[in-house]
Structure 1
Amino acid sequence: MDWGLLFGAVNIIALIGWGLLFVARRGPLLHSTILYLGVTLLSAIYAAAFAGLLLTDGLGEGGFGSIADIRALFASDAGIVIGWTHYLAFDLFVGLWIAREADQRGFSRLAQVPVLALTLMAGPAGLLLWMLLRGRKKIRRG
């Protein structure tokens, strides 16, 4: 497996999804495109790479029981790319959810930029900011 090539590919997929989320006109088609060609594709790549690693190499010295075990998982290119793909898929999914909710609640696109940018760069911090802001406007019915 060329882990460098896969790393580049998942980054491009995620950046396309985020780019569309930031600049494209949102609606059901865009939401589905980001969900299925972005999030689902990243998730499929993650699942295939993780399963492939388990079947060929196992977890090696790594595991999930301690900091040392986690460090060992990320000590290889495979571990880094698989972990990074995990982050990309989840952060894009959360960004899509935030954007849809923000649109429904009547937040301007400009007001969404800092929340989405923070979600892109530091997922849980962006989610936290959104959770603090979202109660300010009720969902528009319409």
Structure 2
Amino acid sequence: MKFIKPLALAFLLPATFYIAEAKMPTTLTAEARAILSQDSLALNQKLPFDNEVITGKLKNGFTYFIRKNSEPKGRVTMYLGMKAGSILENEKQLGLAHFLEHMNFNGLKHFPKNELVNYLQKAGVRFGSDLNAYTSFDQTV
């Protein structure tokens, strides 16, 4: 127990002398900055929507959001998120969200079998670091 206090001080003392400036991203709207500056938020308070986001809905009901991002340069970032996580499964559906996660890479109408992964890898995408998926309690990405 005696060594914990000096060890904690060794980590905390440098932090007391270092003052970092927190900078707000310049892309936040005035409305977003006002909300983020509050100490607390009402649960029914709507979060502001970024005006630079383009949104739409396909015929099959898929909702998409597109936003230009200058970082990282020369790259695109895409997420496919489903409002389905393991917490929503009943006993007969256990593992379904995780199965859907893997099926996203298992072939599409225009990219049968593993051709989507092969196509993306030829374009410079690395499976794992650039292309990956996960399932949590409340979402599958």
Normalising by the smaller structure, the TM-score range is: under 0.3
Structure with a larger share of its residues in helix = 1
**Quick check: which has more Rg, 1 or 2?**
2
Q: Please, what TM-score do these two structures have when normalized by structure 2?
A: 0.26
- Higher relative contact order by CA 8 Å / sep ≥ 6: 1 or 2? 1
TM-score (norm 1): 0.26
More strand by percentage:
2
